[in-house]
Structure 1
Amino acid sequence: MDKKIEEERTSILRVLDRENFCISISTIALHTGINRHAVARHMDSLEMLGKVRKLDVGRAKKYLLVKKIPEYGLIDISTDFIFIVNPQLSVQYLNESAARHFKTSLQECIGKDIRVLKFPLLLHRDFIKTINSFTYEKSEKVTLQDDNGSWFEITLLGFSLLAAPNQIAIICTDITDKKRAEIELKIAQEKYIFAFRASPDGVVMRDIETGEILEANPSYCRIIGYPLHEIIGKTPVDLDLFESPGYHTIITQKIIQSQLAEHRYELRVRRKSGELIDVSCSACIIHLPNRDCLLILTRDISEQKRTEEKIRTSEKLYRLLADNTQDVIWTLDPVTFSFTYISPSIKRLIGLSPEIVIKKKIQEIITPESYLRITVKLPYFMRSHMDGRNPSYCRLRIYYSGIDGTVIPTEAAISFVKNSTGEIIQILGVCRDISLHLEILKKLRRSEQHYKLLAESVKDVVWILDPVYRTLRYISPSVTKLLGWTPSELYQMELEDIISPDMVDFFISECSRRYALYLENDSKQYYTNELKILTKNGTFLWTEINSHTSRDEETGAVEIIGISRDITDKKILNQVLADNEAQFKLIFNNMGDVFWTFDLTTHKVTYISPYILNLRGYNPNEILGRTLDELYSMNYLSKDDTHILKIKEQIIKFQGGDESARNIRISTIYRHRSGNLINGDVCISLIADNNRNVTQIIGVLREISDQKDQDSLPTGSFELPDKF
């Protein structure tokens, strides 16, 4: 090495040794007189040689001389408690950490038997047993807990010195933090294992490359119908789960390409029995040390699909009636006689759109004579109806003024809609155009309104509740996704504050009842309840709760363990179904005509409106579900009725390709149950599939008060509003 370089480095090391603390390059250059850049190069070389250490202090770099620590110094700077004893267990040395912890000194302990010093940690029977049997052949370890609850790992290590053979080093290491971490980890694992096994949704882990099933919970086994031992190590292809053998590869590629934290999809799965079921899946990729896996949350949505189909079927029945009705439907305010609704068919009747008509006064679209008849007769009918002297409907002849100046005569069937207190809130009118040849029912406009339920898999919320104080002992982090509250926020809240006020009493009484019942028989009984819970944004969410009462194994305290899931979408679907049925029943049950449907597959009456009691004297329940033969036997129909023969002829013509045969109007005479003859007008529409096979017959029956007058007037058309 160049002599000048050696001299400069020696000078630098001398300065560092003299200062005895870290200094900067500028300070070294000032003390040595060496150029600052040369000092920087020397410091890099000295750092590589291990003679100096570089420290980052803020934005500056400073250096410290590295000095060798004596071996005995390593013992004293150790945070472990270290004793050196001879074969007779007399103390030869103890470090500062041991002296500080046991509140003693080396002078007080030197030469004394470690067993008579009465250090609690070293008097533990497990330690005494271990040190008495120590053989110097190998090190020994023992784990103990002291009176303060701290955990220690004590290592006994035999060694020999030149002047002192067979010495024993007793090293006490505080492992309290490690032990607590292990306990917390075990508790967390037990909670997640409970959530995994108790979840009502299926959870399965598969190898992302091979598709091999690595783990699955009982719910997943129940969904696919296999016991656990039959699916572990198998692939979906081996179990024939998917309709397409390559579906696993397609789904896996989509999940990888989407790069989403969670990928949702729906598919059909084949159970062990061969039954195909609909499931909703939520998948994510997890990275294990030796492989990448797919964690898939699976929920059986077969019931949800059946609910959707039930809604579609119910809606189809009422739309079948509404969409094939050509009459004009309107509602009037019973005080002002102003329109509150009018169906789109008004445009075909008078040439004006409903948006224009609803803004007009009723006297602007009907003739003066008709307006006078309405203003006189409607109040009279309303008073008579409220007094119980007249039924809830009446008929009026109303003449509309067309946009081209023509007068269109109609027959209006008027009924009254009342609220829960019996007050008339709307006047409902159905007007039939009797100036044109009537086509009661049009071609069926098949439209389906799709209701998509929330299946978004949310992760269910696992919780543990104290039934006495009604406080949470634990709640899983997924509650934030469901309600917006964090677990720490909910721990500080009264649960009564986030439960719907109308359910608080039920919640309190149920906690008390469950607690008392468990104390009485100590049995694990499962419960399912529904509660409305307040979210953080101020709205209420319907949840389904599956829970059971048990006892904590460590504390013996009674607790309620439960899982909550969001069922708001299910509640909405049920309410939509109820609202649709109520709305359409309100219309058809208040009309003064008889609407009916007949299924040609089952050959039974599938619907008939309540007005049949007024028109024919039969209760709807007597007719509903009857076959033609049963209707013949009860004298409701006669086998030689001309309109039945006419319908059969029209069906043959329609299936032969005659589209004009789809709609039929027949004037006939019916017999009331009492024996009276009734002039009737029935409009028939044939409903067919794509192959022109007639599947249903829709009919509208109306009593014609003056048959001759009706025959002299042509028939017209009507339709129901799209919103129905």
Structure 2
Amino acid sequence: MKIRDDKYSSDEEKIIRDIQQLLTKNRHGMTISEISRNLGINRTLILNVLNLMVGQGEISMRSFGRAKVYTLSSKIPIARLLSLSSDLFLVVDEELFIEDLNDAFASFFKMNSDVIKGTNVIYSPIPHFFSHDIIQALQDASSGTKRIFEDYVGFEGSQFFFRISCIPIQESDFSTKVALVLHDLTLHKKYEEELERQLNARTSELSSSIRRYEVLAEVAPVGIFETDVQGKVIYVNKKWCEITGTDSDEVTGSKWMKSIHRDDREWIKKLWYEHVSEQIPWNHPIRYQKKNGEEVHTLGMAVPLRTDNGEVTGYLGTIVDITERVAAEQIIQNLNEYLTTVLENANDGVATLDIERKFTSCNAAGCKILGYERSDLLGQSIRKLYESDDEFKNNGKEIYLELSQTGHYRGEVNIVRGDGKNRIVEVSISEMKNNGTITGIIILFRDVTESIRVKNEALIQEQRLKTILDGLVDAVCVIDRHGNILYANACASRYLSGSDVLNGEKHQLSEYIPKNELNSLRSYYQKIIDSQIPDSKIICLTIREQNICFLNRAVPIRFGEHSVDAVLSLSLDTRILEHE
């Protein structure tokens, strides 16, 4: 095992603190002679300590002819940057000895970061979770070859799907480090698999109901296309044309290939017809180019259409516009300069303030969110983002109280952009310390104005829906998989309790339905939720000592602020039908 001791001696620590205090007072930098003279220490010892501090990234050195000037480093430590990311980060040297890992990595694999640092990756627990390809990519990156690919990672009996980035980092001393970045794509992978499963399951149903399919296709939020057995397009819906920027008569037959980006056209064409000839499902990203030159990234999926005897008659497929997602998934291209590169390529805003709450840095995304040029922010108080002095003081008091107690703050803040527009930003604030002394704060922030607006609109729409349902003569309930009644309209409430409203906040079917009937009904609703397929049937229940039969329509939905899986149950008393 390789052991490293990067700690300073007690004498060196004292000299380092003295040098830091000296350079703090002299922001423009000092020479070796000036530092030696101020501290009363010989030049040789001062030079050795300065070299150590440069190597640790604590100070920077610039040469002016024969003179060397030392200043405090303005870079944010890589450990601080790693802690801000939800991705899993691991940094190793060229011999694959672990130098650093972020909290997300240690937490995911349940490792003690202090124990594993200094250990060679090959002899650590890590290879038990990674495939051979990931370990090989680390070795390739240590030789200078950057690799980005997707792979599964197994942990505690579960499989997780990640985008793997192995990026070589050239240090100032010409040594090489490797940054391993794991971006979790598990949910996206499950979404793709589920979408493919649903397409396969519903192909036969769509074939037997052409009219219903055509109506659905025209209102679907995804692009839908159909081809003949040779893979030539015979139908595209309006959404497909909208995504690709074409008209339906421009893409029939093989003409749809012209809408694909010119750089991808040949290999997509070759790959598509290989799938068609082998009659296998298609699942690939496709980059289109509109007539105005705009690029559109999509995820394309298609499955063979088969007759009852298994004969392939064509393909049915979808495309989903993932342009925004692709833009948001920009991988860090270069980690050689930790601060500048990471910040300038981040989608979220990152800024630092000194102890006087003045900007000392702000990345490009942050400047865009705040509506200012970087030069208009640096050295200025964060007060300029607030509408009034009172708002600045009250908000600052709340933030710094939380920081003083926990060292961190998370919340939403109202700001005024440089163009005068009011926005809401979600912030994550942490203290920056140097040898235990607070030197400022670092802020990670994003504009959530639009998402809050959409959320509020969704709540309004839900309330409108409830108002409509309350006026129906049908009994309408929303019930989750555990039998909890999330909503009941006035008609349903009268059946269950004899009143227009169910008293109390939480209700369960078990309060109103006998146990022997409850288990069957709950199992039926769970089946609807799991299959995501609506169903209709006659349901007979004993409610308030009456045996009542309902014509019931059960539809799977997501309900409420937290999108709970549930069933929308519409029930019509069959006695009404008999009366009619």
Q: Same fold (TM over 0.5)?
A: no
Report the structure number with the largest CA radius of gyration.
1
Higher RCO (C-alpha under 8 Å, 6+ residues apart): 1
More helix by share: 2
For normalisation by structure 1, the TM-score amounts to 0.37
For normalisation by structure 2, the TM-score amounts to 0.44
